[in-house]
Amino acid sequence: MIYIFVEGDTDEIFISKVLGNMIKSIFGSYNIVKYSNKKKLKIKQYIQTIKKMNNSEYLFIGDQDGNIEKKNKILEEYPFLDSDKVFISIYEIESWIIAGISDKLIKMYKIKAFNNTESITKEKFNSIKPNTLYTNEFIANILEEYDILKAIERNSSFNTLYQFLSKKNAS
């Protein structure tokens, strides 16, 4: 069992749709914990409890939000975290989402092609989104045809998480 700490709903959907099967094959099952709406003390206690449990692991995922020291800040806020289990999406989770957009959707939505998504913020993501779609609808369409290989090429922070999981899968 692995516990995956994420900031919010979009992160939860992304992890479940894109990495859920891989995570299940590695760890058997997973539980997603949204931490942004919980008290820090509760999360600290939760992490401590997980670390004491046999056969349990965790990952902690956050958005960089333009702060290059974000990982260090998270490690200060939650001192029981192991640094190698903290993953920061550069720039925000939307950058991981758009990184895997399929060529089919790029053509269909007439989106300008890109090689790197690390500067994608929520605002830039929304400007890419066709005006005819709601944000959640656009995200759902991308995740339905998500291209992991393109995502790991277009976003190094997603690649870091993916490589971590791949190494776990190989062991």
pLDDT tens-place values along the chain, 171 residues long: 999 999 999 999 999 999 999 999 999 999 999 999 999 999 999 999 999 999 899 999 999 988 889 999 999 999 999 999 999 999 999 999 999 999 999 999 999 878 899 999 999 999 999 999 999 999 999 999 999 999 999 999 999 999 999 998 877
DSSP string, the chain: -EEEEESSHHHHHHIIIIIHHHHHHHHS-EEEEE-TTS-HHHHHHHHHHHHHSTT-EEEEEEE-TT-TTHHHHHHHHSTTS-GGGEEEESS-HHHHHHHT--HHHHHHTTPPP-S--TT--HHHHHHHS-TTS-HHHHHHHHHHT--HHHHHHH-HHHHHHHHHHHHHHH-
The parent domain of residue 93 ranges over: 2-170
What six digits make up the tokens of 125? 């993501």
pLDDT of residue 43: 95
Overall domain count for the chain: 1
- Predicted TM-score (pTM) of the model is 0.93
CA atoms within 13 A of residue 130's CA, in its CB half-sphere: 14
Residue type, 149: L
Question: Whose structure tokens read 């056969």?
Answer: 55
Q: What is the pLDDT of residues 87-97, one digit of tens each?
A: 999 999 999 99
Q: Is the dihedral of CA 79, 9, 121, 114 positive or negative?
A: positive
